[in-house]
Amino acid sequence: MFQDVTRAMAPVAVPVASKKALRFYRSGNVLWCVRAVAGLLIPALFLFTGFSARLRSWAERMGSKWYFAFALYWVAFAGLCYLIELPLDYYRGFVRLHSYDLSNQTFGKWFGDSLKSLGVLLAIGLAGGWIPFQLIKRSPRRWWLYLGLLYVPCSCMMLLIWPVMIDPLFNKFQPLQDKVLEAKILTLAARAGIEGGRVYEVNKSVDTKTVNAYVTGFMGSKRIVFWDTALRTLDEGELLAVLGHEMGHYALGHIVQSIALSSVLIFVALYASHRWLGRIPGRYQRRFGIRAWSDFAALPLLVLIVNFLALIFAPAELAFSRHQEHEADRFGLELLHNNHAAATALLKLQQHNLSNPRPGRIYTLWRASHPAIGERIDFCNRYRPWEAGGPARCDEYIRQRPVP
């Protein structure tokens, strides 16, 4: 017992990244740059070669009504983009992960998932991709405002249905099978003010050897999901520590905060797009073969603008995400007071996911959704406000103090 207490108080050292982890980190950065350039280059090619206009004319000849012509254009455009990106996606999502021994996926599962993702993208485009062009046509001055107003309920709806309808297309989700663990989780959930039955496990071991857990959904579909790889890799104390972090996202309302931030950024992006479209000289429209901005042949231009603005906004979005992750870490520590388990869970994440515990500044700015694992372990080692007897930051969300 005395040994347990001593162990629980001991700081956890952050090991330096292995050579393999550093190789994974550096090659991942190169790959990220290649994908970012491709995300700008591919729509630009569709636009500048006039191919998008030719595709539109073909779709108009095939589909008699405007929507059917749009639908044909969208399926052809998204399908061609999929084929162009397929070699890079295959390397990134299959070959590379196997070469670093991070994947359990068969080629069949990878390809099946890849086709399903394309199917989901096609369905979303068919359901809503036509709306910007109709809004531009009907309200050339205010389309950006109406589209922004539509974005908010649409993103809530997507979040509501995604864990129930889309995620299960790729993996099997079920309530936690370990009933002893589930009982402990329900007790912890009650202390954090979260109703029971919201914790699931997913068979990610068919895809990956990496370890993770996350919070997803909105209102009725809000849930905490453990990858089965995490259930096998982490001991009970570490699982509860990870759960404490996820409960932090849940209890502190991080999903709603993220929707609010992305809504603000979408408004800015749409307004910027509106201003830019108004300033593009007419000769470019003629060169692209686009009749007006309400012509769906302008879709690659919208994709180009969205991908460009996503790069510009990434540092702000990621900084906010890192802030939320830090607050979720704080919540987990205040809920459980098990700093050692929280730190060793992060250590296992570092080792199993080949993470770099101290990445560079540019990586942090443009790619890091979480604080560096090294910083998170350092925080676990030092954050114990309850020892001084003072109030803790998340007190109002936590119903009972941990039993010492």
Q: In angstroms, give the least distance from the CB of 245 to Zn ion.
A: 6
Paired with 103 in beta bridges are: 208
CB atoms closer than 10 angstroms to residue 258? 17
Contacts of Zn ion in 322-381 (CB under 5 A): 325, 328
Beta-carbon contacts of 166 under 8 Å, excluding residues fewer than 6 positions away, are: 120
Contacts of Zn ion in 128-187 (CB under 5 A): none
Q: Mask 292-331, x = binds Zn ion (CB under 5 A)?
A: ---------------------------------x--x---
The Cα 88–Cα 71 span in angstroms is 26
Q: In angstroms, give the least distance from the CB of 225 to Zn ion.
A: 12
Residue of 201, 246, 334, 375 marked catalytic: 246
CA distances to 82, 126, 129, 189, 328 from 67, rounded to whole Å, are 22, 9, 10, 48, 45
| Nearer CB in complex with Zn ion: 269/328 | 328
Listed residue (25, 12, 20, 23) closest to 364, CA to CA: 25
# residues contacting Zn ion (CB under 5 A): 2
Q: In angstroms, give the least distance from the CB of 243 to Zn ion.
A: 11
Active site residue 246: yes
| Nearer CB in complex with Zn ion: 295/325 | 325
| Nearer CB in complex with Zn ion: 184/326 | 326
| Nearer CB in complex with Zn ion: 17/225 | 225
* Amino acid at position 160, single letter: L
Q: In angstroms, give the least distance from the CB of 327 to Zn ion.
A: 9
Listed residue (298, 17, 377) closest to 137, CA to CA: 298
* Amino acid at position 254, single letter: H
Q: Which residue's entry shows tokens 């068979």?
A: 203
| Residues taking part in catalysis | 246
Residues making contact with Zn ion (CB under 5 A): 325, 328
